Amino acid sequence: MTEIIKVFVGIFVGLGAFLCMVTALGIIRLPDVYTRNHAASKGSTLGIMFILIGAFLFFYVKEGHYNSRLLLGIVFIFITSPVAGHLISRAAYHTGVPLWKKSVLDELKDKEKHEKHGLDRSNGEGK
């Protein structure tokens, strides 16, 4: 019974560490802020959650210690880390960090221009 759980713990921790490494590689190799942020906020979130699940299982099986702080930590990271990524991306966009040269589409830019024109015309037709 505990041997099976040990294998699971190994898988969880190994996979989490691997995902964190992939995140680091993504931050180094990807070209601009937005793609890097994409790698950082997704990969490391899942990686850290896997590592925490592994730690939780390990202490629960080995010492019978039900550590609710780890569960709270998992939920907390799952909630907050994507929001942090979103806020960093948004701050970068609004301070005018350029997109990657080969980017094709920037719908937010068109939308903001549209809004500005709508305001200039003073409650014009543009929504």
Partner 1 sequence: MKKNDVILQTVTNVVAFMIILFSLQVFFSGHYHPGGGFIGGLMTSGAIVLLLLAYDIKTVASIIPIDYKILIGIGLFFAVGTGAGSLFFNVPFLTHAFNHFDLPLLGETSLHTAVLFDTGVYLVVIGVTMTIIQTIGESE
Residue ranges that bind partner 1, judged by CB under 8 A: 69, 72, 75-76, 79-80, 83, 86-87, 112, 115
Shortest spacing between CB 36 and partner 1, in angstroms:
20
Q: CA-CA distance, 85 to 105, in Å (whole number)?
A: 20
Shortest spacing between CB 90 and partner 1, in angstroms:
9
Question: Which residues does 49 contact at the CB level (< 8 Å), separation at least 6?
Answer: 16, 74, 77, 78
Q: Running DSSP on this structure, what letter comes out for residue 18? A: H
Q: Which is nearer to partner 1, 13 or 52 (CB)?
A: 52
Q: Which is nearer to partner 1, 9 or 40 (CB)?
A: 40
Shortest spacing between CB 87 and partner 1, in angstroms:
6
Contact 41, 81 (CB under 8 A): yes
Shortest spacing between CB 94 and partner 1, in angstroms:
8
Which residue in 14, 39, 17, 16 sits closest to 26, CA to CA?
Answer: 39
Q: Which is nearer to partner 1, 80 or 103 (CB)?
A: 80
Q: Which is nearer to partner 1, 86 or 117 (CB)?
A: 86
Q: CA-CA distance, 20 to 54, in Å (whole number)?
A: 14
- Burial of 47 per CB tally in 10 Å (0-12, 13-18, 19+): buried
